[in-house]
């Protein structure tokens, strides 16, 4: 049995629009996830036990529950509390909170990977804990965190397919719409998979270039 892409190719515009939404939501989720994740990672290493426990609990919950469940909780669960968010807002928020759990662990590992001598040097210079973290520890930790953060971005691109369950027309939903019209399931999702592969490959290539430029081992 042969396969005919002639019904699918004319609808490449819909695939491209879906891919654009996928990239946009992934970038937003990574941005907010990194901001929140850095805070969580710092809380994990603060010499203050309650903050460590709070951050550890957040990471435990996020990493121990499916991302789809988290999205459904935000989109379908929060309205019962009077908090109504659009599908896009719910999707970006859900992916951001999920990403923050993983980024928090990446940040913790990066901070703990900086040698103790750097902390001692900052104390000799009379820097406070906050200034030591901001000007000495975090800049060095970023170099070791970069590969893991890059992998997190690639993961977000793939996990953004979950947003199709919230009726967001990202790449997977675009594929479902094309399939429902053309009934060409095989051809449609071959193209969807190829676009995802192209997005993750381009991202991976760009990140390797950055790592090489920063001389990340």
User: Is the distance from CB of 36 to CB of 97 less than 8 angstroms?
Assistant: yes
162-172 pLDDT, tens digit per residue, is 999 998 999 99
CATH code, domain with 47: 1.10.3720.10
Residue 2 lies in a domain: no
Whether the pLDDT of residue 114 is over 70: the answer is yes
Residue 78 lies in a domain: yes
Tokens found for residue 203: 């991202």
Whole-number average pLDDT of the chain:
91
Whether the pLDDT of residue 44 is over 60: the answer is yes
Comparing CA positions, the residue from 90, 33, 92 lying closest to residue 59 is 33
Residue 133 lies in a domain: yes
Residue 56 lies in a domain: yes
Residue 4 lies in a domain: no
Residue 3 lies in a domain: no
DSSP 91-104: HHHHHHHHHHHHHH
pLDDT at position 186: 92
Mean pLDDT of 43-51: 91
How many domains would you assign to the chain?
Answer: 1
pTM: 0.89
Whether the pLDDT of residue 1 is over 70: the answer is no
Residue 80 lies in a domain: yes
Q: Which domain holds residue 45?
A: 9-213
Residue 1 lies in a domain: no
Whether the pLDDT of residue 176 is over 60: the answer is yes
Q: What whole-number distance in Å separates Cα of residue 153 and Cα of residue 95?
A: 11
């Amino acid at each position: 049995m042969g396969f005919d892409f002639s019904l699918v190719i004319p609808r490449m515009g819909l695939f491209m629009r879906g891919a654009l939404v996928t990239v946009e939501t992934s970038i937003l989720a990574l941005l907010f996830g990194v901001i929140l994740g850095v805070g969580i990672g710092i809380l994990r290493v603060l010499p203050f036990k309650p903050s460590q426990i709070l951050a550890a609990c957040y990471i435990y919950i996020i990493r121990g529950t499916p991302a789809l469940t988290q999205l459904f909780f935000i989109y379908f669960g929060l309205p019962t509390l009077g908090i109504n968010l659009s599908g896009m807002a719910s999707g970006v928020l859900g992916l951001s909170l999920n990403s923050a759990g993983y980024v928090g662990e990446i940040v913790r590992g990066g901070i703990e990977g900086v040698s103790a001598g750097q902390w001692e040097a900052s104390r000799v210079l009379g820097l406070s804990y906050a200034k030591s973290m901001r000007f000495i520890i975090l800049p060095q930790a970023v170099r070791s965190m970069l590969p893991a953060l890059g992998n997190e971005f690639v993961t977000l691109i793939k996990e953004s397919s979950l947003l199709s369950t919230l009726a967001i027309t990202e790449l997977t939903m675009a594929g479902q719409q094309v399939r429902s019209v053309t009934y060409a399931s095989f051809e449609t999702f071959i193209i969807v998979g190829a676009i995802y592969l192209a997005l993750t490959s381009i991202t991976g290539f760009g990140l390797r270039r950055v790592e090489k430029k920063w001389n990340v081992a």
